[in-house]
Amino acid sequence: MFYLPVGPLTAGNPRMERPRHPRPRRLGRRLRQRRGVAAAIGTLLALLVFMSLFGLFVTQFVPLWMMDNEASFTSSVQAEFGSLQQNLDLLALDAAPGRSLSGAVTMQSGNVPILAQPTQGILSYTNEPALYTNVSFNLTGLAPPTGVGEHNFFQNFTSGEISMQIPNRYYVPTYFGLSDGAVVAQQSSGSSTMLFSPGFEGTLVGSTTSLYLTLFQVLGNNTQTTSTGTQQVFETYLAAQSYQGADTSVALNFTTAFPCAWINYLGVAFKASGITPTVTSPLAASCPAVLPIGSLAPIQVAFPRVDNLSVTIVYFNVAVGGIPA
């Protein structure tokens, strides 16, 4: 470093001073300001990237995750309703009054932690006069009817229904019903489907036709429940009554929330036996038709003359979410 003289260079003026430069304090302040702005911009950009990725996760991944959860939930309930029907069949075969079987029904789907709550189902048992079953035929041992097409014996009872409503938000909303010994599913976007068929059978041996009808009456207190985890459904065998007929036609009339499923089932169930029933319903021409939850439609089934007939009505008690009666 060198110094410039101040004033004339004389022996009597030895003062020297440094050259003038910009103050380093101001320069450091400017550099710190620039660094602060850059850090703020970097933070905002990082936050923007995070929010974009988070929005993509919420709008794309969460619905797929929940759709898979609800589809698995719906499949579980379908299998569990099949087990409830199987329990009724086992109790009917065992025919031990007072014996009970129970089955668990899953009440909610999985969730996405923090972001999506589980979907809860509504498990119900309903027994009301509007849900009836009527069967008539010529009973062996009674005097034959006097009128053409008439029968000398009939039974009329309320069948009762165990149901599960699943109001899915991402998967298809589904309604399951167990009534008259059959499990039927109804999806909001399509027609009803018979998942597990009732105890109806027709046979043809040589030229002899035989028809076997097993009907279930499920009794209990009207119940509706929703909860987490699972709920138990207790089914108790009460009694059974069998009726025999010969050389008789059969009329089976009942109401159901799933008319299209029953119409489709009855149209194909007896083809191998040559027993072709005539099925009529106000909704027959409009299938696939979707009834609102809680609505019922009548179905009339007219079986032609058969050589042998066996009608069995089995009585059960059901307790949903409680203890066996």
SS3 of 219, please? Answer: strand
Instruction: Check: CB of residue 138 under 8 Å from CB of residue 251.
Output: no
Instruction: Check: CB of residue 318 under 8 Å from CB of residue 233.
Output: yes
The pLDDT of residue 292: 73
Peptide bond just before 288 cis, omega within 30 deg: yes
CB count within 10 Å of CB 9 equals 9
According to DSSP, the β-strands at 182-187 and 192-196 are antiparallel
Instruction: Compute φ and ψ for 80, nearest 5 degrees.
Output: -70, -35
SS3 of 102, please? Answer: strand
Q: Spell 212-247 as b/e; 16+ CB within 10 A means b.
A: ebbbbbbbbeebeeeeeebbebbbbbbebeebebee
Instruction: Check: CB of residue 121 under 8 Å from CB of residue 241.
Output: no
d(CA 185, CA 80): 13
For residue 204, the Cα-to-chain-centroid distance in whole angstroms is: 37
The pLDDT of residue 146: 77
The pLDDT of residue 273: 87
- Beta-strand ranges (E) seen in the chain are 4-5, 16-17, 100-106, 122-126, 132-139, 153-158, 161-166, 174-179, 182-187, 192-196, 199-205, 208-219, 223-225, 230-256, 278-280, 297-320
List, in order, residues 6 or more apart from 40 with CB less than 8 Å away. none
The pLDDT of residue 31: 58
pLDDT tens-digit readout, 76-113: 999 999 999 999 999 999 999 999 999 999 999 998 88
For residue 66, the Cα-to-chain-centroid distance in whole angstroms is: 15
SS3 of 244, please? Answer: strand
pTM for the model stands at: 0.80
pLDDT tens-digit readout, 220-269: 999 999 998 899 999 999 999 999 999 999 999 999 989 889 999 998 89
d(CA 279, CA 213): 16
Least confident of 71-75, 147-151, 250-254: 147-151
Of 298, 274, 264, 282, the closest CA to residue 186 belongs to: 264
Q: Is the pLDDT of residue 135 over 70?
A: yes
pLDDT tens-digit readout, 271-290: 888 898 999 988 777 777 66
